[in-house]
Amino acid sequence: MTKNQKPRPPVPPAKKGSRPSPVTAAELLLEIGVEELPYQFITPALAALKGSAEQLLKDHRLAFQSACTLGTPRRLTLVVTGLATQQTSMVKEAMGPSKAVAFDPTGQPTRAATGFAAGQGVSVQELQIRQTPKGEYLFAVKQEQGRPTNVVLKELLSQLISKLSFPKAMKWNSTGVRFARPVRWLVALYGGATLPIEAAGIIAGNRTEGHRVLGNAKGIVVRDSESYLKGLERQGVISDPERRRRMIEEQIATLCKKTGFTLNVDGDLLDQAVYTTECPNAIIGSFKPAYLEVPQEILITSMKEHQGFFSLMHKETGKLVPHFIAVTNNRAKDMGLIREGNERVLAARLADAKFFFDEDRKVKLEDRVLKLAGVTFQQKLGTMEKKQQRIRKLASMIATSVRPQDYELKQTCERAADLCKADLLTGVVGEFPELQGIMGGEYAKHDGESEAVSQAIREQYLPRSIEGELPKTIAGQVLSLADRLDSVAAFFYVGLVPTGSEDPFALRRNATAIVRIILEGNLRLNLGKCIDNAINLVQADGFKRSQNFESQGRRQVTEFIFERVRHYGRIVHALRDDVIEAVLKLAHDKALNLVDLVQRMKALESVTTKPEFDPLIIGFKRAHRLVEKEQWDRKPVDSTRFEHITESALYQATAEEREKMLSALNRGEYGQALDALVRLKPAIDEFFTAVMVNAEDPAVRSNRLSLLQEVDDFFNSFADFSQIVVQGG
């Protein structure tokens, strides 16, 4: 403290009853009460509600701490904490005409100045003159004061509700509003006060409704999220979906522990249980053991698709047991009545499934094949019979490519392909389309087909999802590849190509499956030849070819599959994008062995970590640019025209290392092949240090460019190294 400074007096304590500090933030609670929503709609709707709310608040300069959503079949809820009570103020600036245009020689404002001022809502006197790089210009500067949040929210919340969209929507009253299901009530509270917003013809209040059965008919008055959560729970509603999920998992685990059974885990079914209940209560039921004579896939699917029931397995054998778990949306004193009701309904469903299964086995798959002529594959691509015939020919070609000497595999694949689509005409697959292939394998086995044929038919649709289980048998892999290659080639041929995020025929999933089956099955086959065969078979069926396909068809299909290879390389092997591109760039016109290409990528990725690699690529790129840029007669290298020892050294080193590289490539030892390139670095560096490529003598210049072309070709025999990104290159 200096001499002239006086000590500050202590701050007096706040007096009792003094006015508290003004509130600067409060909580927003918005609930949209609806008729029961389809469970699949709820998760996307909650994500959209949260994302849109956050964006709207930011766009309208309303600061907040956090936003979260809650949801049940009857409500979509948004809670925003720490929401500022006032919009952030802002200064708006607009640049107008130049000073020379805005004022006449006497200094009076012209129409340009008055018009600009009027347009900005300020007087001419309030305009500022500022120096800019272009000279002096007029600026209008306005301070826009933030409005109270509750005023802004009355405008925003109706917008927020109207922005929600669903796969299917409906109208139910004269307002014409579209929503997944009719909106029945709205709750909108900010800082405990009701915001009387209007949406779908309903004015928001502070009263919500409890569980349809367990709740009070009068509903619940809420003040904030805390009273909302507690009040709903007293009325039989657990509004937090993650809490419902934990409850269901714990209840199922308890039932499994009591009975000694194991749950047949199904994530989709768990999601369904979470979003079809407000008060989840898991119960165990049973069905007649006689139904276990039906293949367990049918029983599991029937329980899941018709009733949303979890199936149970024997802990030791892994076989299905005649019991199920149902997650009910109720909590009754006597759950026995609910269990019995579920058992009765399931018994009827299983009886139907058994009937279909028994009837299906009365007709052989082989006898159903001719009827595929009456089943449309796609409007532009004819019948399923034609597709099955193409698959047979393609499967035969692929089997021969994978194992040239294995005649038995070829026969198995052809026979499996002959029957692979016949189960589409069965009763079980008609009822449960997701069982196609599985039932075909089951019926083929019943008809006396070999285990290999039955298993291949069973595996033809694997993987069923991007990361799903792959076919385990070679015949299953071949059949799946043939089916998917035919689909990709056929749809591209007639111009039904995925655009943006639209992919109605799941061609990206098919291409991903092709890549996974080949790479994870280590299938060494020429994919380019397979693509050509698939295209030729489609063409032979006489479909109308799209204009784009005529000139670029094969390349389009190849590039489409390569896009999946890029994704696979990045995700599975963590490869650099430039490394992937370097290998794929030169692969279009060669034998497309995907296993070989990925091995090259991995070897190249490995060599990029060597300290000499970046300087080597800088040297290569210098040579590559010179070869691309300069014009010369492209004559072969003439060693008699070498003027410097480094020319001979580079020429000799290239010849020696090329031989070593070719030998390593033939053995599939790509690391050693790349070592040959790395060893060329000193010779390249010395060449550029010692000689001028663009010599005055045209013959010497041309010869040096031809030498660099040999170096360029040497590098490109492995990959397109011009794609590699290095510092300084």
- Hey, what's the torsion of the CAs at 455, 457, 460, 463, to 10 degrees? -40
Q: What is the pLDDT of residues 669-696, one digit of tens each?
A: 888 888 888 888 888 888 888 888 887 8
- The share of the chain scoring above pLDDT 70, in percent, equals 95
pLDDT at 631: 65
Four-CA torsion 254, 259, 265, 269, nearest 10 degrees? -70
Amino acid at 696: E
Q: What is the mean pLDDT of the chain?
A: 90
Measured on CA atoms in the order 241, 156, 32, 236, is the torsion positive or negative?
positive
pLDDT confidence of 642, banded at 50, 70, 90? confident
Phi-psi region of 385 (alpha: psi -120 to 50; beta: other; left: phi over 0): alpha
Q: Residue 626 is inside which H or E element, if any?
A: helix 613-629
What is the structure's pLDDT at 269?
Answer: 95
Identify the residue with better confidence: 356 or 1: 356
Query: Cβ(637)–Cβ(706) under 8 Å?
Result: yes
Q: Tell me: the pLDDT tens digits for 168-186?
A: 999 999 998 999 999 999 9
- CA 49, 51, 53, 55 torsion: positive or negative? negative
User: Quick one: which H or E segment has residue 185?
Assistant: strand 183-190
Amino acid sitting at position 588? H
Residue 729 has pLDDT above 60, yes or no: no
Dihedral in degrees, nearest 10, Cα atoms 97, 99, 102, 108: 160
The pLDDT score that the predictor gives to residue 700 is 85
What pLDDT is recorded for position 22? 65
- Please give the C-alpha separations between residue 522 and each of 117, 180, 518, 597, 606, in angstroms, as whole numbers: 73, 47, 6, 12, 21
Residue 15 scores a pLDDT above 70:
no
Question: In this structure, are residues 152 and 62 in contact, taking their beta carbons and an 8 Å threshold?
Answer: yes
| Structure confidence by residue, pLDDT tens digits, 515-535 | 999 999 999 999 999 999 999
Structure tokens belonging to residue 610: 């060597």
Q: Identify the bridge partners of residue 314 per DSSP, sorted by sequence position.
A: 261
The residue type found at 540 is A
In one-letter notation, the amino acid at residue 459 is E
Give the pLDDT confidence score for residue 1 in this predicted structure: 41
Question: 3-class DSSP state for residue 676?
Answer: helix
Which residues, listed in sequence order, are joined to residue 91 by a DSSP beta bridge? 143
3 has a pLDDT exceeding 50: no
CB 128 within 8 A of CB 139: yes
User: What does 479-503 look like in DSSP terms, one character per residue?
Assistant: HHHHHHHHHHHHHHHTT---BTTB-
Q: How far apart are CA 168 and CA 163, in angstroms?
A: 14
Least confident of 422-426, 510-514, 575-579: 575-579
Per-residue pLDDT tens over the stretch 117-137: 998 888 988 888 999 888 899
Mean pLDDT across 245-252: 97
The DSSP result for 342-388, as a single string, is HHHHHHHHHHHHHHHHHHHTTS-HHHHGGGGGGSBS-TTS-BHHHHH
Binning pLDDT at 50, 70 and 90, where does residue 282 land? Answer: very high
Q: Are 280 and 73 in contact (CB under 8 A)?
A: no
CB burial of residue 457 (10 Å; 0-12, 13-18, 19+): buried
**pLDDT on residue 420:** 97
User: Whole-model pTM?
Assistant: 0.78
Q: Is the pLDDT score of 590 beyond 80?
A: no
**Pairing of the two strands 75-84 and 66-72:** antiparallel
Q: Report the pLDDT value the prediction gives residue 170, as an integer from 0 to 100.
A: 94
Cα 204 to Cα 4, 52, 74, 189, distances in angstroms: 63, 19, 16, 9
Rounded CA separation 41/49 (Å): 12
DSSP annotation of 55 reads H
Q: Encoding tokens for residue 15?
A: 């007096």
Tokens of 497: 């190509």
Average pLDDT of the segment spanning 11-40: 75
What pLDDT score does 633 carry? 66
| Helices 527-540 and 547-573: angle between axes, nearest 10 degrees | 150
At 308-331, the pLDDT tens digits run 999 999 998 989 999 999 999 988
Contact between 72 and 109 under an 8 Å Cβ cutoff? The reply is no
- The residues pairing with 98 across neighbouring beta strands, listed in sequence order, are 137
The whole-number pLDDT of residue 18 equals 43
| pLDDT for res 2 | 41
Q: Is the dihedral of CA 490, 495, 499, 502 positive or negative?
A: negative
* pLDDT value of position 300: 95
Could you identify the residue written with the tokens 């070897």? 603
Per-residue pLDDT tens for 401-458? 999 999 999 999 999 999 999 999 999 999 999 999 999 999 999 999 999 999 999 9
Phi first, then psi: give them for residue 703, nearest 5 degrees.
Answer: -65, -40
Question: Where is pLDDT greater, at 548 or 409?
Answer: 409
Q: What is the pLDDT of residue 589?
A: 60
Residue 727 pLDDT = 64
- Angle (CA) 586-589-594 rounded to 5° is 70
Please write the tens of the pLDDT for every residue from 199-230.
Answer: 999 999 999 999 999 988 888 999 999 999 99
Question: Cα dist. 499→230, 502, 503, 512, 551 in Å?
Answer: 48, 5, 7, 16, 19
The answer to whether the beta carbons of residues 462 and 484 sit under 8 Å apart is: no
Mean pLDDT, residues 55-64: 93
What number is the average pLDDT over the span 694-700?
Answer: 82
| DSSP β-bridge partners for residue 631 | none
pLDDT of residue 389: 96
Structure tokens at 350: 């299983």
**C-alpha span between 709 and 624 (Å, rounded):** 8
Are 261 and 252 within 8 A, CB to CB? no
Judge contact between 381 and 418, C-beta under 8 A.
no
User: What is the side-by-side strand order in the sheet with 135-144?
Assistant: 90-98, 135-144, 128-132
Give the per-residue pLDDT at 674. Answer: 86
pLDDT band at 10 (very low <50, low <70, confident <90, very high): very low
Give bridge partners of residue 78 from the DSSP assignment. Answer: 30, 69
Sequence length of the chain is 729
- Is residue 621 very low, low, confident or very high in pLDDT (cuts 50, 70, 90)? confident
Instruction: Say what the pLDDT of residue 9 is.
Output: 41
Residues 312/262, Cβ–Cβ less than 8 Å: yes
Q: Per residue in 365-399, pLDDT tens?
A: 999 999 999 999 999 999 999 999 999 999 999 99
DSSP single-letter state for residue 546: P
Q: In this predicted structure, what is the pLDDT of residue 632?
A: 67
pLDDT score recorded for residue 697? 83
DSSP letters of 25-50? EEEEEEEEEESPPPHHHHHHHHHHHH
Angle at 71 between CA 68 and CA 74, to 5 degrees: 150
Residue with tokens 């590559």: 624
Tell me what pLDDT residue 12 has.
44
How confident is the model at residue 519, as a pLDDT?
96
Range in 78-92, 455-469, 492-506, 603-617 with the lowest mean pLDDT? 603-617
